[in-house]
Amino acid sequence: MVDGAATPRVSAYYWSSISDFLAADPMALLGTLSSSHEHAVDPTQQQAWEQELHILRDVVKGLAGAIYLEFEVPRLGSRIDAVIVSGAAVLPIEFKCGESEFRKNDYNQAWDYGLDLKNFHQASHDVAIFPLLVATEAIGSDASWHTSHTDGVRPPRRVNSQDVQVAISEAIALAIGPAINTDGWGRAPYRPTPTIIEAARALYSHHSVEQISRNDAGAQNLHSTTTAIDSIVNSSATRNERAIVFVTGVPGAGKTLVGLDVVTRRRDLEQTHAVYLSGNGPLVAVLREALTRDEISRLGTRRGEVLQKVKAFIQNIHHFRDDGLRDIAAPPSDHVVIFDEAQRAWNLPKTASFMKQRKGVANFTHSEPIRRNPR
């Protein structure tokens, strides 16, 4: 669907009211999904979409609300196969077409989608979330929904294709509260909860970062650098000014550690919340994995719960850029942005070429680092 320029875009390949979804030509829906995909669509993906559409068209009949296909949680790069918003319930659905087993990794993936919405999608902070894992060829299904956790997210319910409808109906009946504004839900921004920010800071503050911070710089040098940056951040906030700080050094000098330290010091979400960005995908993966494994080894915490904390402050710059395009007029929630491996951020010509070819946005006039200045 095409959104007006004055309002934030919905980050989904397709979205509409359920009634419009049911009235749409299935081939047109498939064409919309295919044309929205950034890469060539292989036959396996197309077949999966065809099966998902067939199932969804059957199970949403008679429901009020909206449906989102290939919905991307802002800033996280999590793309959920389908989300149904009906009444007071939000149902992220992970399809495993052709699967006859409910695999642990798939179960955790469905749960992570629910947690991503709860912790980072502003319109989902205070609603009931019911993740569904659909293994289409499974012999049996879970008989009911498990009790909600304290955060309002239910453990995923595992169902085969025959039991999707009853799971959705029971979720809507269990959800208490006013009906969700479906248009506002789809356009809601990335906004991590204060709870997840505090959890992220606590996680990092207990980590020795030995593997991350191997360097030849003295502790006093690192302390002086982070103190100077903190002073600039605080001064900019007080004076309502913007500042840019360049941190340079030889490999191993501790630049990454400085960035992580600065990010985790910014614990007040509304005043100086910070995010660590890198266009180096492997670096983001390594940092997330190092912190995640450390927390699990110390506390035995579930991996998905730890990842939620890490996602709050270590992110991919490309997702940050894409989120900026959803609402060009609005600043990000972050007041301090750390660009690690900044030389990997795209300049104007590269960004403009990508935006035209892959995002359908012509005449783009900004590089990645300056597209949206922190407040």
pLDDT digits (tens, 9 = 90+) for 42-64: 899 999 999 999 999 999 999 99
pLDDT of residue 374: 45
Does residue 166 share a domain with residue 83?
yes
Location of structure tokens 């500042």: 243
Does residue 223 share a domain with residue 171?
no
User: In angstroms, rounded to a whole number, what is the distance separating the alpha carbons of residues 41 and 163?
Assistant: 29
pLDDT class of 168 with cuts at 50, 70, 90: very high
Does residue 115 share a domain with residue 34?
yes
The domain of 38 spans: 12-187
Token digits of residue 310:
């890490």
Side-chain-side CA neighbours of 210 within 13 Å: the count stands at: 3
Does residue 172 share a domain with residue 31?
yes
Token digits of residue 313:
């402050």
Contact 217, 250 (CB under 8 A): no
The residue type at 97 = C
User: In angstroms, rounded to a whole number, what is the distance separating the alpha carbons of residues 174 and 319?
Assistant: 34
Establish if 278 belongs to a structural domain: yes
21, 311, 325 from 127: Cα distances, Å = 23, 21, 26
H or E element that contains 283: helix 281-299
pLDDT of residue 218: 55
Does residue 302 share a domain with residue 255?
yes
Does residue 330 share a domain with residue 219?
yes
Establish if 277 belongs to a structural domain: yes
Establish if 364 belongs to a structural domain: no
User: In angstroms, rounded to a whole number, what is the distance separating the alpha carbons of residues 344 and 317?
Assistant: 10
Establish if 108 belongs to a structural domain: yes
Contact 260, 204 (CB under 8 A): yes
Does residue 173 share a domain with residue 298?
no
Does residue 142 share a domain with residue 38?
yes
Contact 42, 151 (CB under 8 A): no
pLDDT of residue 266: 63
Average pLDDT rounded to a whole number, residues 90-105: 96
- 42-56, 77-91, 317-331: least confidently modelled range: 317-331
Does residue 39 share a domain with residue 81?
yes
Using DSSP bridges, classify how beta strands 12-17 and 66-72 pair: parallel, antiparallel or unpaired.
antiparallel
Higher-confidence residue of 375 and 159: namely 159
User: In angstroms, rounded to a whole number, what is the distance separating the alpha carbons of residues 57 and 344?
Assistant: 43
User: In angstroms, rounded to a whole number, what is the distance separating the alpha carbons of residues 260 and 263?
Assistant: 5
pLDDT of residue 212: 46
Does residue 268 share a domain with residue 321?
yes
Establish if 290 belongs to a structural domain: yes
* 368 contacts: CB under 8 Å, gap ≥ 6: 279, 317, 318, 321, 345, 346, 347, 351
Chain segment 279-311, per-residue pLDDT in tens: 777 777 777 777 777 777 666 666 767 777 777
Which of 164, 187, 210 lies at the terminal end of a domain, its last residue? 187
Chain segment 183-198, per-residue pLDDT in tens: 899 999 888 776 665 6
Contact 284, 263 (CB under 8 A): no
Chain segment 228-284, per-residue pLDDT in tens: 888 898 888 889 888 988 888 776 677 777 887 777 666 554 556 778 888 777 777
Whole-prediction pTM: 0.73
